[in-house]
Amino acid sequence: MAAPSPGPREQVLAPSPEAGCKAVTSSRRGLLWRLRDKQSRLGLFEISPGHELHGMTCMMQAGLWAATQVSMDHPPTGPPSQDDFSEVLTQVHEGFELGTLAGPAFAWLRRSLGLAEEDYQAALGPGGPYLQFLSTSKSKASFFLSHDQRFFLKTQGRREVQVLLAHLPRYVQHLQRHPHSLLARLLGVHSLRVDRGKKTYFIIMQSVFYPAGRISERYDIKGCEVSRWVEPAPEGSPLVLVLKDLNFQGKTINLGPQRSWFLRQMELDTTFLRELNVLDYSLLMAFQCLHEDERGPGSSLIFRTARSVEGAQSPEESEAQNRRLLPDTPNALHILDGPEQRYFLGVVDLATVYGLRKRLEHLWKTLRYPSRTFSTVSPARYARRLCQWVEAHTE
């Protein structure tokens, strides 16, 4: 079947039973399923009827179901072209429109990650309500998780979306060169417009904190001090809070022999972001204690690569790409096992450019915080400082 043609396109869709908001109510679920689901969702809240964002998320689900169907009907036949990166598809639903930006490019990227479109559609479509958590971010964005917690959705400003799309070809190229990169895997960029009002943009990423069932602590690290403390949840509270730099004082990341790989990959990824003139990104990090049978060299490791279908890589190419042994577990690209703990690691928030506004903010903060470190610094200094933080806090 022919691939979609480039440029702006519009589809008018009739309502379909598959695209309705079909959140399954708990009264229909079996007791065992409910207990297991409740345990894995501690600190998360279902966006169910009555929630202020329920209508919006239902439209997102219906729109994403239809948008993913397009990429299933017209699968990518090769690496994305310039037209693929610039394509905009608008699908008109009853009461709203969903735009898909650079759809063919993201479909190719998802395929290169081994993500089946059917699974992507099922997780983000109307099979179950999205989940919400209390964010410690200072931004005004809304944050959601798919019902299986595998995918992360975040509303974005128009300027941030323009930055992401402008950098998308180089981002894809970086992931091809470094398949085990720690950069968050961006899977889609969309717009939602209700009753011909203002567009709301949102992005979809692979969640760094997945699977979340045994995670004990979560952190957002920028390598600075100002506004980098979060009041921890009271002991015994079900709230899931992402803590920050100052909460991590006195702790270390014990990676053992994997430390050298991690330091090198942070250097490669932050160098790439510095070249894009980007700053204010974060290293997301979470801890999970390993069971006895999960510890020890080779206990659950396999050598997997994003390009393994093309044949074995030479030692020289593997070393240049900084490949490693990946754990035989879901979300392996964001998981690094130390001697006693499993670490979930990923670099997120890649859309802040060091332009005039950030330069002025840097000058103001220099005067406001003369002896303290803050996030708004030049991309070169930001990258260097975060790598120094990682080196100082790992062993």
Co-location of 115 and 221 in the same domain: no
Co-location of 83 and 231 in the same domain: no
Last residue of a domain, one of 169, 184, 206: 206
What CATH number does the domain containing 76 carry?
Answer: 3.30.800.10
Co-location of 130 and 274 in the same domain: no
List the Cα angle 249/207/25 in 5-degree steps: 120
Co-location of 258 and 357 in the same domain: yes
Whether 26 is covered by a domain: the verdict is no
Co-location of 235 and 114 in the same domain: no
Which two three-digit tokens encode residue 48? 């169910």
Q: Which residues contact 80 (CB under 8 A, 6 or more apart)?
A: 102, 104, 105, 108, 109, 169, 172
Q: Which of 289, 323, 328 is nearest to 306 (CA)?
A: 323
Q: What is the pLDDT of residue 288?
A: 95
Which two three-digit tokens encode residue 195? 């009753």
Co-location of 163 and 286 in the same domain: no
Round to whole Å and give the CA distance between 323 and 251.
27
Per-residue pLDDT of the chain (395 residues; tens, 9 = 90+): 444 445 688 787 766 544 456 533 333 344 333 433 443 455 688 999 999 999 999 999 999 999 999 999 999 999 999 999 999 999 999 999 999 999 999 999 999 999 999 999 999 999 899 999 766 666 778 999 999 999 999 999 999 999 999 999 999 999 999 999 999 999 999 999 999 899 999 999 999 999 988 999 999 999 999 999 999 988 877 778 899 999 999 999 999 999 999 999 999 999 999 999 999 999 999 999 998 888 765 554 444 443 333 334 566 666 788 999 898 899 999 999 999 999 999 999 999 999 999 999 999 999 999 989 989 999 999 999 999 999 999 99
Co-location of 240 and 130 in the same domain: no
Last residue of a domain, one of 165, 183, 206: 206
Co-location of 229 and 126 in the same domain: no
Co-location of 149 and 242 in the same domain: no
Round to whole Å and give the CA distance between 147 and 144.
9
Range of the domain at 130: 41-206
Co-location of 223 and 257 in the same domain: yes
What CATH number does the domain containing 252 carry?
Answer: 3.30.810.10
- Percent of the chain clearing pLDDT 90 (strictly above): 72
Kindly report the backbone phi and psi dihedral angles of residue 89, in degrees, each rounded to the nearest multiple of 5, phi listed first: -115, 125
Q: What is the pLDDT of residue 3?
A: 45
Q: What is the pLDDT of residue 12?
A: 76
Whether 211 is covered by a domain: the verdict is no
What are the tens digits of pLDDT across the range 290-324?
988 887 655 544 444 433 333 345 666 667 889 99
What does 129-166 look like in DSSP terms, one character per residue?
--EE-----SS---EEE-TTS-EEEEEE-HHHHHHHHH
Co-location of 185 and 232 in the same domain: no
Co-location of 228 and 377 in the same domain: yes
What are the tens digits of pLDDT across the range 81-93?
999 999 999 999 9
Total domains in the fold of the chain:
2
Amino acid at 187: L
Round to whole Å and give the CA distance between 331 and 211.
8
Last residue of a domain, one of 168, 185, 206: 206
Average model confidence (pLDDT) for the chain?
87
Q: What is the pLDDT of residue 292?
A: 84
